[in-house]
Amino acid sequence: MNYRIMVTGSAGQLGYDVVKTFQAEGLQVLACDRNQMDITDQQQCTDMITTFQPHIIIHCAAYTAVDQAEVDEDAAYAVNVSGTRNITVAAESVNAKLVYISTDYVFDGQGSLPYREYDVTNPQSVYGKSKLAGEWLVQSLCTQWFIIRTSWVFGVSGSNFVKTMLELMEKRPQLQVVHDQQGSPTYTVDLARFIYILSASEKYGIYHASNSGTCTWYEFAQAISEEANKQGGFKPTAELNPCTTDQFPRPAPRPAYSVMDHLAIRTNDLKPLRPWREALIAFLNELSVQKTD
């Protein structure tokens, strides 16, 4: 059977690797970015999904400008809530499985133990609140759903912390990096592979998926510097210094602790994502190949 897969947000970090992963498996993929389909337009979503008749929809499209969302709440809700509703309703009408990509920002970040999938949510930012509202719509309007919460994402498509650090560490003599926020980095290649495996199953529910292990942003930056220096093509020379979140005030509150427990992965006998440092090395390899091409 030639499964048809639709991917929203296909030009984003995760969407890019999801498309590549499913295409590599020989599946028919309709890659939709905002130029192909405006998810805030309900009729357009209905028409495209009814025409393509996907078996699985991977909904990666999202408003992810965390700080901008604080001043443009309507735009964040239009995409993350109304857009998600449009995709969900259309998915249900064609009996498609739906994979909704969510975030660690649905928690308040005040905990000290890894968050489990069914722990109480308490988002503190507009972005987190809008993504949680999207989760509720998926659960109430769709019968075959997977919600995947992830964190600290990095991949070759788009901007991310790793790319930013590599650039700044080559340009500046010193860098201050926040050392009082803890979480788990996630490589889009690994997450896309997990999505491929999960979406082929009927193990519906909420999943926390990130690379194994935890670190602070400062420790992540240290690892980026160390591993990049072992590779060719990178020259990160900046001295890294730890600082506090209070020294870098931002419009949207950041979770101080956003480590997520992978309880659902374990209890559903799924393979955990590899340690984040291994994933970082693989990503730097991918980046260096891209630079030489």
**Closest C-alpha among 58, 99, 68, 64 to residue 79:** 64
Is residue 127 part of the annotated active site? The answer reads yes
pLDDT in tens, 188-240: 999 999 999 999 999 999 999 999 999 999 999 999 999 999 887 788 889 99
For the CA atoms of 97, 55, 127, 254, what is the dihedral angle to 10 degrees? 80
Whether the Cβ atoms of residue 210 and residue 152 lie closer than 8 Å to each other:
yes
Residue 39 reports pLDDT greater than 80: yes
Give me the mean pLDDT over the 79-99 stretch: 98
**What integer pLDDT is reported at residue 50 of this predicted model?**
98
Q: Burial, 288: exposed, middle or buried (Cβ in 10 Å; 0-12, 13-18, 19+)? A: middle
Element of type H or E holding 224: helix 217-230
Residue 73 reports pLDDT greater than 90: yes
The secondary structure of residue 106, as a DSSP letter, is G
Among candidate residues 115, 127, 207, 257, the one labeled active-site is 127
For the record, the structure tokens of 59 come out as 């909904």
Residue 264's DSSP bridge partners are none
* Cα end-to-end span (Å), the chain: 36
For the record, the structure tokens of 34 come out as 């905002």
Whether the Cβ atoms of residue 14 and residue 188 lie closer than 8 Å to each other:
yes
Q: What percent of the chain has pLDDT over 90?
A: 91
Give me the mean pLDDT over the 18-25 stretch: 97
Whether the Cβ atoms of residue 149 and residue 106 lie closer than 8 Å to each other:
yes
The 3 state secondary structure assigned to 232-282 is: CCCCCCCEEEEECHHHCCCCCCCCCECCECCHHHHHCCCCCCCEHHHHHHH
**What integer pLDDT is reported at residue 2 of this predicted model?**
77
For the record, the structure tokens of 106 come out as 């649905």
**What integer pLDDT is reported at residue 126 of this predicted model?**
98
Please state, in angstroms and as integers, the Cα–Cα distance from residue 293 to each residue in 43, 57, 183, 279, following that order.
41, 32, 33, 21
CA 64/CA 103 separation, integer angstroms: 10
**Closest C-alpha among 53, 23, 15 to residue 188:** 15
What is the length of the chain?
A: 293
Window from 145-154, 231-240, 249-258 with minimum mean pLDDT: 231-240
pLDDT in tens, 103-138: 999 999 999 999 999 999 999 999 999 999 999 999
Output the pTM of the full model: 0.96
**What integer pLDDT is reported at residue 158 of this predicted model?**
87
The amino acid sitting at 103 is T
The amino acid sitting at 214 is T
Question: Mean pLDDT across the chain, nearest whole number?
Answer: 95
**What integer pLDDT is reported at residue 293 of this predicted model?**
65
CA 166 from chain centre, in angstroms, equals: 20
Whether the Cβ atoms of residue 155 and residue 188 lie closer than 8 Å to each other:
yes
Give me the mean pLDDT over the 78-87 stretch: 98
**φ and ψ of 143, to 5 deg:** -105, -20
Instruction: Find out if CATH 3.40.50.720 is the number for domain 4-160+185-212+258-274.
Output: yes
Give the relative orientation of helices 84-93 and 126-141 as an angle to the nearest 10 degrees.
10
Q: How confident is the model at residue 1 (pLDDT cuts 50, 70, 90)?
A: low
CA 187/CA 277 separation, integer angstroms: 10
**What integer pLDDT is reported at residue 234 of this predicted model?**
84
Residue where the block lists tokens 């993929």: 29
**What integer pLDDT is reported at residue 289 of this predicted model?**
83
